[in-house]
Structure 1
Amino acid sequence: MGNAGAVRMVESLVARFPEYTGAFEAHVFNEGGVLPHLFFGEVEEAVLEAFVVDDPEGLDWRGVLGFLDEQWRGGLPDVRGVVSASFLWGLPHPGRRGYGIVDQLPAALAQEYRRIRPGG
């Protein structure tokens, strides 16, 4: 299966960050399974909101970025595809709310971000 690694990544993300459990369960119910690229819209939205609000009791957005960086470094093409196309590509552009998160990207994600969006 071409996206088995990406499905495992989503399942691991939800296990590590239980704040995503409700969204994940609704996603699986509505889509009849895990569609990693689609689910990552939820991931990105929650990370950006947590970054902007920066509530110590909220989602650990730094932890999510670290998790994604680890997954990226794992090198699976389907995982990299989801992280690149459905997370990094959708980050805010310069001057938009939450753009500062790009300065917080761990090394591997920052490198990919600069590759796919050299102008920010």
Structure 2
Amino acid sequence: MDEKEVEFVDDLVSAFPELQDDYETHVCNNDGVLAHLFFWDVTQRVVESFRNQNGDTLDWRAVLSFLEERFLGEQAREKDSVVDSLIATAFLWNLPFPGSPGHDLSRHLGPTLARRFQEMRPLG
């Protein structure tokens, strides 16, 4: 496990205490942090929050903003590229595909994430 990934996951959970139970369950089930696996849970929570905007305490807009701020895209310094890779492969790639509930969430990505999402999944 990359130290930067663990630090990033810790930062995310600190910023969004609503993810704490998911995090603790993940750590217990996996004997530690597996960032890419944990991000599956994060992605599902964000999509669910988007779809049921009054039913989840997690602020999906704030999570997207947090990820946008932390994603460096083309300006990524080598030491931070693992965080960019985590966000791209474990979050963006796992967003709902066209025709699936929650797909419209991708329309709310910030400019850097939207650009990377378009590169990865040109058909949405």
Instruction: Flag whether TM exceeds 0.5 (same fold).
Output: yes
Shift of 1:56: 7.8
The share of aligned pairs that are identical, in percent, is 39
Residue 32 of structure 2 corresponds to which residue in structure 1? Answer: 33
**Structure 1 residue ranges, 4+ long, deviating more than 2 angstroms after superposition:** none
**Counterpart-to-counterpart distance in 1, 2:37 and 2:23:** 11
2:89 maps to 1:85: yes
Distance of aligned partners of 1:111 and 1:69 in 2 relative to their CA distance in 1, 3 Å threshold: same
Give the TM-score taking structure 2 as reference length: 0.90
Q: Deviations over 1:62-101 (max 9, x none)?
A: 0000111111128311111111111100111111100000
**Counterpart-to-counterpart distance in 2, 1:68 and 1:89:** 14
Match of 2:110 among 102, 106, 115: 106
How large is the RMSD of aligned CA atoms in angstroms? 1.5
| Residues 25-34 or 74-83, more deviating | 74-83
Unaligned stretches of 5+ residues in structure 2: none
Q: Is contact 2:64-2:109 (8 Å) kept?
A: yes
Unaligned stretches of 5+ residues in structure 1: none
**Counterpart-to-counterpart distance in 1, 2:93 and 2:121:** 7
Q: What is the one-letter code of the residue matched to 1:12?
A: D
How many residues are aligned here?
119
Shift of 1:114: 0.3
